[in-house]
């Protein structure tokens, strides 16, 4: 990050290279003005030019090394914030991601990941509009992402899945479907659980309970193989909710119980965001001992 003495548009690397060039030019000018010995002048000039080349190479390698170290540190901090998110320490995770977004270069792939994760913290707090704004900011600030640049890895698919999930929770099912269709253009095995959760949300919002239950059953193995922690718990809740809307039976009651047992221990209001604009889900969660604050039950943002 630039300090207060560096212009906003100037990188430390550019300042370092410029400084070396300026010093070399000044020294050459002094030699030209203070000596009549042409051989000495040319020898000194060649020496300075060689020194300049060596210094430039050194500066470039140095800043590349520092940039790599900085990038590795930022990746580490992002992963630490993700761990906070998995522990349901949402406020701490949100603050950590906000710090990362502020400190990272806007062109960095880590910036895109941190901004997307910041959106996830908003979503988990029930601030769905805030989450969607964060996701959309990633799309705007990282145009190479939409072009499928390899440097972003799985970020594009995950971002599309997150946008679809947010719109589904808001009830914008057409927009949600559009983002899901784009997400599935390049299936990433590690995101199967996230994609399944979003698709179940769409189906359940449309009250297609039988379809949702069947879809969950046929894709369950993918979710189990790719999803962990909170993400898989959320998928379990969505599947249990779908089953609860079908004709009751002892076997179905047992399935629901087993699915929900896998969601414990649940953190304080961990799944409350699922109840956003969704009274039926709020009632289901409360029936099974999971808190849903009034602000979320009525669709009011935190």
Q: What is the pTM of this model?
A: 0.71
Domain 87-187 CATH class label: mainly alpha
User: Per-domain residue ranges for the chain?
Assistant: 11-70, 87-187, 188-264, 266-302
In whole angstroms, give the CA distance from residue 258 to residue 288. Answer: 12
CB distance 71 to 108 below 8 Å: yes
pLDDT tens-place values along the chain, 302 residues long: 232 332 333 344 454 555 555 565 655 565 555 555 555 555 556 566 666 666 666 555 544 443 433 567 777 888 898 899 888 899 999 999 999 999 888 888 889 999 999 999 999 988 999 999 999 999 888 887 766 555 566 788 889 999 999 999 988 999 999 998 888 877 666 788 888 998 999 999 999 999 999 999 999 988 888 877 888 899 999 999 999 999 999 999 999 999 999 887 666 678 888 887 788 998 999 898 887 655 444 444 44
How far out from the chain centre does Cα 233 lie? 20
């Amino acid at each position: 990050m630039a300090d207060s003495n560096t212009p906003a548009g100037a990188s430390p690397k550019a300042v370092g290279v410029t400084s070396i060039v300026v010093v070399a030019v000044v020294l050459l000018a002094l030699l030209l003005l203070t000596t009549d010995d042409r051989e000495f002048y040319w020898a000194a000039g060649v020496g300075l030019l060689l020194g300049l080349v060596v210094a430039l190479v050194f500066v470039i390698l140095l800043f590349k090394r520092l940039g790599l170290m900085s990038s590795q540190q930022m990746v580490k901090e992002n992963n630490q914030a993700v761990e906070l998110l998995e522990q349901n320490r949402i406020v701490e995770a949100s603050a950590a991601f906000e710090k990362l977004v502020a400190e990272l270069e806007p062109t960095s792939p880590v910036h895109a990941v941190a901004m997307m994760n910041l959106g996830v913290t908003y979503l988990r707090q029930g601030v769905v509009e805030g989450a969607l704004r964060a996701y959309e900011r990633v799309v705007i600030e990282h145009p190479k992402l939409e072009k499928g640049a390899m440097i972003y890895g799985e970020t594009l698919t995950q971002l599309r899945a997150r946008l679809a999930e947010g719109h589904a929770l808001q009830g914008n099912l057409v927009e949600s479907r559009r983002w899901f269709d784009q997400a599935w253009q390049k299936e990433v095995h590690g995101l199967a659980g996230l994609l399944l959760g979003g698709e179940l949300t769409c189906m359940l919002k449309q009250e297609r309970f039988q379809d949702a239950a069947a879809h969950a059953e046929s894709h369950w193995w993918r979710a189990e193989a790719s999803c962990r922690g909170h993400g898989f718990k959320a998928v379990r809740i969505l599947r249990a909710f779908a089953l609860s809307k079908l004709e009751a039976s002892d076997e179905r009651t047992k399935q629901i119980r087993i699915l929900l047992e896998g969601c414990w221990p649940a953190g304080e209001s961990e799944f409350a965001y699922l109840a956003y604009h969704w009274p039926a889900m709020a009632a289901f969660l409360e029936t099974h001992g999971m808190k849903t604050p009034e602000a979320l039950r009525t669709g009011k943002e935190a």
